[in-house]
Structure 1
Amino acid sequence: MVKITLVGAGSMHFTRDLIWNLLLHPQADRIEWRLFDIDADRLRISYRLVQEIGRQLHVTPRAVTVDTQREALQGADFVINVVQVGGFEATRRDFDIPERYGIVQTIGDTLGVGGIFRALRTIPVVLDLVRDMEDVCPEAVLLNYTNPLSMVVMAIARISGIQAYGLCESPRTTADTLSRYLEIPPDRLNWMTAGINHMAWVLRLEAEGRDLYPTLRSLADDPETWRKDAVRFELMKAFGYFVTESSEHNAEYGPWFITHPDEIRRLGIPLGELLRRSANYLRDFEAYKTEGIREDFTFPRHPPFQYAAELITHWMTGEDLTFYGSVMNHGLIDNIMPTIAVEVPCVLTQGEIFPVHVGPLPDVLAALNNRAGAIQDLTVQAVLRRNREDLYHALLLDPVVSSRLTVDQTVSLANELLEAHKGIVPELKTRRVFGNTSFSGEGT
């Protein structure tokens, strides 16, 4: 029996898709689920969805809900983390307060102001989970989906020897997207990406030994194709390589797009996109909560792809698998800082996972990743050292913030967000002078 603990199981879309994937596996009856969430209503809805999927697939899920995290972890082989700390209201504050300072965002869950403050409130919760794992299931593998994924992985590595991997489908979905643009079946593409999560680079793109980058560059000049992925095509024109994750994500990682109103219009950048998605998720939850699952609703036979499901099923059967994961950069990418997490191919073989050595990235790609990584590193330090100066430095180095705000304005933004998130972010201290204001002692 394989025991899987899902922490944050009230995230009903993820829970639905993960269990849906695994219930389709021939050995689904070997999987035992423990679902945990601090929100009882959300947990109940997710459990109801799991049972409905099982009914439609004519299988009986071995799933139970549990009241405490430590109970959920008992005997776990895999722990999957999908927690979101602070919910929709915290996300809205991450958008609304910076906007008053002239900073707009699209997703705000990885880098920038939104990514930094999401890390502040998320990392302490994940580290509590890791400490419980050390006590209850120290041999379990932690698969983290929670954003900001890289910073979560980095924080875990700083305090624990728990085996942890950050999982994100963006390398695979990027390859699928490119197969559509190139009109080549996905199984004919030979591709590889490496970098950091949400900013990894397609280093190899071939079919039957033929380099497909010349074709992709030609497609970038086609207005119809360009409009489908304008920011990523612009980045490819500038830096030579196609980047993973979406255009809406990458629009906010540098100062070239989202700080210019004309570029926002030209590139079709969807400001506030995460708020719209989150509002839709909330509507789905309320509908399930009040109305249940419609009698005529049918789950398709092919759920959305998930690395966690593929990894677990291959581990169960003993088959080898290559997947993409975020791990600490212990010599995997030669010219990226060793203190940050990198997203690289990983090989599962004989029940063990081995990240693959990639070598050096092209210099400009490494520079982009290192700039983002330095900000991530400072943010993680801010949490672990309870140091407000590290937070200020992370924001001051951010390319979007630094292109819009002075030092004093940046400090003011940080302090306002810390106060707005009081109670769900750690208390941070500083004893230095920033700009025209001295901050000393403790803050929130």
Structure 2
Amino acid sequence: MTLEEKIVLIGAGSAMFTRGLVSDLIHTGMRGELALVDIDPVALRTASGLAEKMIAASGAPLRLSAALERREVLRGATIVITTIGVGGRRAWEQDVFVPRKYGLYYPVGDTVGPGGTSRALRMIPAMVEIARDVLDLAPDALFINYANPMAAVCRGVIKATGARLIGLCHGTVDTARFLASLLGVKLENLAYTAVGINHLTWFTEVQVDGQDAMPRLHAIADGVLARLAEAEAAHAAGQPMPHCGSPFESSLEHPFSWQCLKWFGAFPAPLDRHVTEFFPQFFRTGAYYGKTLGVDEFSFEGTIAVGDQVYAEMQAEAEAPGALPEDYFERLSGEHEQALEIIQAIRSNTPRLYSANLPNTGQVPNLPLGAVVEAPAVTDSRGLHPVALPPLPPAIAGTLATRFQWVETVVEAALERSREKFIQALILDGGVSSPEVAVKLADDLLAAQRETLHWS
């Protein structure tokens, strides 16, 4: 990357992303300015203090600035990246803990379900205001979003402002790495087509060195499900059920995702932690192969604790006297989202395929026009562009159909500040057991998030 860039990162207080982005900027040799923005002065001081130390330690040709008000730094931006989380982890906790009062358990609660619906209400208006400022002050900037719920946020921004927003997420490529590892090949030897909505993206084709790898994946699925049946039989006989989520914890590697492969002929990304939330008819109460989602499998409290710990570590690193340790960059991974790789491909006009969240302009013929779909996109000097694909199998399209209408409903609820449409979205989502529960849950979530919603 030879040209200077001005990257504006909005939501710089993110526990992990800022540190990883700065690391990637340093490693790729990017030149120019990084402007950090966060409305929380403490979080901004932590992020900018650590970034300043990282740049100084590396001698990277980067200028650093920071602002509480984004309009102060947006003018002249060539890249704008949003990683905001309105209300932070404390608001996120309420998105998950309030539904628990109704017996509803979720491992993540930031994409769908009552938690994802609640999160969308506070995220969409904030992102729309950011988009309007970007269009006013940096209309030609590459505009990238990482904030969840991805499909609803991107759709809300595009519907309200017309901004050319690109949604990026590491879930699809991480799942590709997972499959490549199981198949015993390098990621670069794996070719695939993955299409869907963010956090439910279906691998409809997988090839290794040009050969169809789906039969091998079906064989793996048969093995996983056979081991699961043995484990469930042992559990029925009184033995403890092993953890199912991680291949590093047991031989039961995301059993629901493998079951989906057998049912639908396609493998869902990004594995059970997120995918289960799209099937409340099976997991409404959190029951998951002898465990409870969000409690003793994919612990939500554990996720929050890790985020709090990482932020505390960043704060300590930023405030510690002196320079960073000599081995700091050896211990630090990047931001995992491919942002710099994609930007480099665009700036060099190099055609490369990535998974991106973009409006459906016909690239997936049997999904709704305008819906923000996660699917292959190719880079050129103008950005990321969707790749034309054949229609999805009806069953796969069926798993997505209501979800895209849920997105439209929750976008309207957020933009109109409509309690009625919030209730409609909760009913469409399918997580609640009755309309009466949807009404009560909606009112409880609105009350819990009153300070972050700014509804009159």
Could you state the TM-score of these two structures normalised by the residue count of structure 2?
A: 0.87
State which of 278, 281, 284 in structure 1 corresponds to 2:310. Answer: 284
Q: Which deviates more, 252-261 or 233-242?
A: 252-261
Deviation at 1:55, TM superposition (A): 4.3
The equivalent of 1:92 in structure 2 is: 93
1:247-396 map, 5 Å: 247-259=272-284, 263-265=288-290, 270=296, 273-290=299-316, 292=319, 295=325, 298-300=328-330, 303-396=334-427
Q: Which deviates more, 32-41 or 348-357?
A: 348-357
Q: Tell me, what secondary structure is at the counterpart of 1:400?
A: coil
Code of the aligned partner of 2:325: E
The equivalent of 2:232 in structure 1 is: none
Q: Does 2:23 match 1:23?
A: no
Code of the aligned partner of 2:446: L
C-alpha distance in structure 1 between counterparts of 2:167 and 2:11, whole Å: 15
Deviation at 1:290, TM superposition (A): 4.4
State which of 398, 404, 411 in structure 1 corresponds to 2:439. Answer: 411
What do residues 226-252 of structure 1 show as CA deviations (whole Å, max 9, x unaligned)?
612222112212221101113111112
C-alpha distance in structure 1 between counterparts of 2:202 and 2:298, whole Å: 25
Q: Tell me, what secondary structure is at the counterpart of 2:369?
A: coil
Q: Is the 8 A contact 2:105 2:286 kept in 1?
A: no
Q: Tell me, what secondary structure is at the counterpart of 2:284?
A: coil
What do residues 362-392 of structure 1 show as CA deviations (whole Å, max 9, x unaligned)?
1111111112111111100111222222111
1:23-422 map, 5 Å: 23-26=26-29, 28-29=30-31, 31-223=32-224, 227-259=252-284, 263-265=288-290, 270=296, 273-290=299-316, 292=319, 295=325, 298-300=328-330, 303-401=334-432, 405-422=433-450
Give the 3 Å change call, closer, same or farther, for CA 221–123 of structure 1 in structure 2: same
Q: Is the 8 A contact 2:200 2:274 kept in 1?
A: no
What do residues 337-358 of structure 1 show as CA deviations (whole Å, max 9, x unaligned)?
2242101111111334321122
Q: Which deviates more, 307-316 or 142-151?
A: 307-316
Alignment length, in residue pairs?
423
Q: Is the 8 A contact 2:105 2:293 kept in 1?
A: no
C-alpha distance in structure 1 between counterparts of 2:208 and 2:57, whole Å: 38
Deviation at 1:179, TM superposition (A): 0.5
Deviation at 1:297, TM superposition (A): 5.1
Q: Which deviates more, 117-126 or 85-94?
A: 85-94
C-alpha distance in structure 2 between counterparts of 1:46 and 1:274, whole Å: 25
Deviation at 1:60, TM superposition (A): 4.4
Q: Is the 8 A contact 2:348 2:381 kept in 1?
A: no
Q: Which deviates more, 302-311 or 103-112?
A: 302-311
Q: Which deviates more, 287-296 or 192-201?
A: 287-296
What do residues 90-135 of structure 1 show as CA deviations (whole Å, max 9, x unaligned)?
1111111111111111101111111000000111111110111122
C-alpha distance in structure 1 between counterparts of 2:154 and 2:426, whole Å: 20
C-alpha distance in structure 1 between counterparts of 2:335 and 2:441, whole Å: 38
C-alpha distance in structure 1 between counterparts of 2:293 and 2:37, whole Å: 39
C-alpha distance in structure 1 between counterparts of 2:107 and 2:442, whole Å: 19
C-alpha distance in structure 1 between counterparts of 2:69 and 2:135, whole Å: 16
Higher relative contact order structure (alpha carbons within 8 Å, sequence separation ≥ 6): 2
The equivalent of 1:3 in structure 2 is: 6
Q: Is the 8 A contact 1:203 1:241 kept in 2?
A: yes
C-alpha distance in structure 1 between counterparts of 2:146 and 2:354, whole Å: 14
Tell me how large the CA RMSD over aligned residues is.
Answer: 2.2
Q: Which runs of 5+ in 1 are unaligned?
A: 428-443
Code of the aligned partner of 2:390: G
C-alpha distance in structure 2 between counterparts of 1:166 and 1:375, whole Å: 18
Q: Is the 8 A contact 1:12 1:42 kept in 2?
A: no
Deviation at 1:276, TM superposition (A): 2.0
Code of the aligned partner of 2:349: G
C-alpha distance in structure 1 between counterparts of 2:41 and 2:327, whole Å: 24
What do residues 262-281 of structure 1 show as CA deviations (whole Å, max 9, x unaligned)?
53426977556343222222
Q: Is the 8 A contact 2:377 2:385 kept in 1?
A: yes
Q: Tell me, what secondary structure is at the counterpart of 1:109?
A: coil
The equivalent of 1:433 in structure 2 is: none
